[in-house]
Structure formats: structure tokens, C-alpha cells
Amino acid sequence: SGTLAALLLLLNTEAFANDGVQPVSGETVLLIGASGAIGQFVTRVLESRGCKVRGLTRYPKEAREQLGTSVEWVGGDLLKPETLNDDAFFRKLLAGVDRVVFAAGAHGWENLDNNRKIYSVATRALLRAARELGTVRRLVLVSSGG
């Protein structure tokens, strides 16, 4: 897909090596949606580059059991108000993070309100926290929400 091709370009080629776009060994990358299909692929690419991955998922226990312990799994549900409205949650999530790949999303057209929450409300909360911390160097937003 076009999304996967764009991620490959950003994450796994030398095309951007000289301008600091590519994550480098030792950096910590927050991957929102890490247990999804695209997230799992991105995790493998990042780990092959020597990056540490912090993965946000709704089901951290299951993610650890099924996908391994190399990722620092963090539990959080971007559809729940207690997560969406918790600025401290987003600041803690971003603490020590160099880069962010936001690859979460709701499935299907029947979930348009959920997509709005994820792509609009959660993204704004994440950007607010990143601006406050001032340490995130780059954010890649992967969206199929239109």
C-alpha cells in the first residue's frame, strides 16, 4: 500500500540519512498502534536499526505474550476519555522519546467517530505534550482516516 511504501522510505532506506529523518541506533521511538499490522512491521524495522521501541497498545499483557518483550509495552486506549483528557499520560508516554510514529486507527466506516477521536483529539493531545516537553525531534502520522 502507499502507506507502507512511505514508511519504508522514511524508516528503511538511505534516502534521508543525511538530513536526520531516519531514526538511528540508540534512539527511542514511541510507536502508537504498535500491536497492529503496520505497527508490527514498523517495530521490526526500527529494531533492526538499533532503535528502542516504546509501544502504545490497548492490551499490553497480550502484546508482551504474543509479540515479545523487546518492546516497552505501555497500556492506553485512545478512545477512552480518561486517556484522551489526561495530559500527564501523554507527557509520561513521551518522556525520553526522540521520535514518534502514530499508526493507530479504528477499523471500518462504522467507526467514524472513533477515527475522529484518534486522528483529531488524541493527535492534538500528543502534539501538546510533545511541544511542552520539547524533546521529540520528528513525528510521522500514518492515517487512513482521510
What is the average per-residue pLDDT within 67-73? 91
Whether pLDDT at 5 is above 60 = no
pLDDT score, position 144: 62
pLDDT tens for residues 84-109?
Answer: 888 899 999 999 999 999 888 666 55
* Residue 15 DSSP code: T
Residue range of the domain that includes 72: 2-8+26-141
pTM for the predicted model, two decimal places? 0.81
Q: Which amino acid is at 56?
A: L
Q: Supply the CATH number for residue 123's domain.
A: 3.40.50.720
Query: Which of 59-91 are b and which e, b meaning 16 or more Cβ less than 10 Å from the residue's Cβ?
Result: ebeebbeebeeebbbbebebbeeebbebeebbe
| 114 in a structural domain | yes
pLDDT tens for residues 13-63?
Answer: 444 454 566 778 899 999 998 888 888 888 988 998 899 999 999 899 999
Whether pLDDT at 70 is above 80 = yes
Residues 6+ apart with CB under 8 A from 1: none
What is the average per-residue pLDDT within 129-138? 92
Counted domains in the chain: 1
Q: Which amino acid is at 94?
A: L
* Residue 57 DSSP code: E
